[in-house]
Amino acid sequence: MNVTIVGTGYVGLVTGACLAELGNNVFCLDLDRNKIDLLNAGGIPIHEPGLEEVLLRNVEEGRLTFSCDVAASVAFADLQFIAVGTPPDEDGSADLKYVLAAARAIGRHMDRFKVIVDKSTVPVGTAQEVAAVVREELAKRGREDIAFSVASNPEFLKEGAAIDDFMRPDRIVLGVDDDEPGQRALALLRELYRPFNRNHERTRVMDVRSAEFTKYAANAMLATRISFMNELANLADRVGADIELVRQGIGSDPRIGYSFLYAGTGYGGSCFPKDVDALCRTAQAHGLPLQVLTAVQRVNQAQKHVLLDKIRAQFGRRLAGRTFAVWGLAFKPGTDDMREAPSRLVIGALLRAGARVRAHDPVAQEQAARVLADDLQDHPELLRNITFVAKPLDAVTGADALVLLTEWKIYKSPNLRAMKDAMRTSLVLDGRNLYEPHAMAQAGFTYLGIGRNNRA
């Protein structure tokens, strides 16, 4: 089938590459000329395991095209996926300007039936807004005769495992209208996703509003589990229990399960914070403030400061002149995405307090340098106090403490003796509970995890 993907970010690029891998012809549109030039030169704008290989293969086999040509992208396919960003507006609700601009462009150029598929995460009711702008554009050209349908197909992939998630989805949610264009849309989408249903049916067909809601409900549930565990971890610290043992104790109950129960430094990334916020805004607009999710957000905000509080408890407020090693900058392993990464808050606070930072991340250093320069615009001179190093051990050399912020594999089994010898003191602040407290104590470290202090 022919498919157009509008937006070649984390979601659009992965969707395009994977659909091409299944034999479809895919036209990827982006308005960012630099991104398109890079992709056409064989480069890749994001780090995502396995993506480069799939991209190169499908470009070579002629199934994948990258372009800024809007008219050509609309003409290319009946299926037009919108996968552009939906960042938070000033008040926290989802900003739909990119989605509506993409929809408008489709309406402006289409000359036959189209299915416009919202793959971006968008609030309930957005499909209606998309349909309205398309209708407006058709009316401007006197082409109200052209039929179209707006469907919802939210994306559930996780950065860092995006190719795998897309290729082996737990479910494919399709929100379509009951009318004739809606059913035509459903037939096309079913055909596109047929290869994923070979073993068993993974498609969940529903009305558009429920599909839009499903994505927010999923992210809100996951964020809730994280904040729940973070709050209990803080209590574990007070009462002298180990949250890791508690996690395993409750996770073994199949009604609870093990996933998404890790205590840490709060959730970040491009999705959870903005999606939870957007859902809360939607609820407020409907006069039904969501009390659980409001608390989830509040707990998360506080959790981002937990490591800084622990640092201050160790060193007092006098951080000037101290050196902190930071392992992990990306908001999670497997990606270079720095959106809402806890490392930004921690490093920003350390630098502002006059400390020096020696930072390591296997892939996100370049992105981190860029976003930190943005974050510290008011004090650019502080950037002189952060050094990005090539190896984890280089970061800890001469450091007063190690702060672990992303659970990359490379940090899982460090050479503790070499670490101890290299560091000035032996304080390890583990924001991901990656290490065993008794092993760290045995190796001579003062170890502070999240909710594990009884065994420090």
Of residues 254 through 293, those in contact with ligand NAD by CB under 6 A are: 270-271
From CA 293, how far away is CA 299, in angstroms rounded? Answer: 10
Query: Closest-CB residue for ligand NAD?
Result: 9
Q: Report how far residue 450's alpha carbon sits from residue 433's, in angstroms, rounded to the nearest whole number.
A: 6
Q: Which stretch binds ligand NAD (CB under 6 A): 97-105, 192-200, 232-240, 435-443?
A: 97-105
State how far the Cα of 387 lies from the Cα of 412, in Å rounded to an integer.
22
With respect to ligand NAD, which residue has the nearer C-beta, 69 or 111?
69
267 labeled binding residue: no
Comparison of 98 and 262: residue with beta carbon closer to ligand NAD: 98
Please indicate if the annotation marks 339 as binding a ligand. Answer: yes
* Strands 323-327 and 79-82, sheet pairing: unpaired
Total chain residues near ligand NAD (CB under 6 A): 26
C-beta closer to ligand NAD: residue 234 or 270 = 270
Please report, for residues 23, 118, 150, 242, 342, the alpha-carbon distance to residue 79 in angstroms, rounded to integers and kept in the order given: 15, 11, 10, 51, 38
Binding of residue 35 to ligand NAD (CB under 6 A): yes
Distance CA 427, CA 419 (A): 11
35 labeled part of a ligand binding site: yes
- Give CA–CA dist 392/399, Å, rounded: 12
| Residue choice 19, 20, 30, 181 for contact with ligand NAD (CB under 6 A) | 30
Q: How far is CA 356 from CA 283, 322, 351, 449, in A?
A: 43, 6, 6, 22
- Is 31 a binding residue for ligand NAD by CB under 6 A? The answer is yes
Out of 18, 28, 68, 271, pick the active-site residue: 271
Q: Is 157 annotated as a binding residue?
A: yes
Check the annotation: does 8 bind a ligand: no
Write down the least CB distance from residue 258 to ligand NAD, Å: 21
Instruction: State which of residues 98, 216, 262, 267 lies at the interface with ligand NAD (CB under 6 A).
Output: 98
Task: Note if 68 is an active site residue.
Answer: no
Minimum distance of ligand NAD from residue 208's CB (angstroms)? 16
Cβ proximity to ligand NAD, 15 vs 343, nearer residue:
15
Q: Output the smallest distance, CB 17 to ligand NAD, in A.
A: 13
Using CB under 6 A as the binding rule, whether residue 107 contacts ligand NAD is answered as no
- Quote the tokens at residue 320: 């000037």
Judge whether 332 is annotated as a binding position.
Answer: yes
- Residue 452 near residue 435, CB atoms below 8 Å: no
User: What is the phi/psi pair of residue 223, to 5°?
Assistant: -65, -35
* Structural tokens at position 314: 């160790």
Out of 74, 79, 84, 326, the residue judged to bind ligand NAD by CB under 6 A: 84
Restricting to residues 374-433, name those near ligand NAD by CB under 6 A. Answer: none
CB of 94 to ligand NAD, least distance (A): 8
The enclosing H or E element of 364 equals none
* 255 assigned ligand-binding residue: no
Q: Is 175 in the site for ligand NAD (CB under 6 A)?
A: no
Helix and strand counts by DSSP (H, E) for the chain:
18, 14
Cβ atoms of 119 and 132 closer than 8 Å:
no
Instruction: Check: CB of residue 153 under 8 Å from CB of residue 118.
Output: yes
- Least separation in angstroms between CB 195 and ligand NAD: 20
Binding window for ligand NAD (CB under 6 A); candidates: 28-36, 109-117, 171-179, 448-456: 28-36
Measure Cα distances from 441 to 366, 436, 437 in Å.
34, 9, 6
Residue with Cβ nearer ligand NAD (173 or 427): 173
| CA nearest neighbour of 6 among 94, 134, 124 | 134
- Distance between CA atoms of 303 and 229, rounded to whole angstroms? 11
364 binds ligand NAD per the rule CB under 6 A: no
Residue 91 CB coordination number (10 Å)? 10
Q: Is 60 annotated as a binding residue?
A: no
d(CA 54, CA 52): 6
Q: Is 114 annotated as a binding residue?
A: no
Q: Which residues bind ligand NAD (CB under 6 A)?
A: 6-12, 29-32, 35, 83-86, 98, 101-102, 120-121, 155, 157, 159, 270-271
Would you please indicate which residues are annotated as catalytic (active-site) residues? 271
Q: Point out the annotated binding site for NAD(+).
A: 30, 35, 86, 121, 159, 274, 339
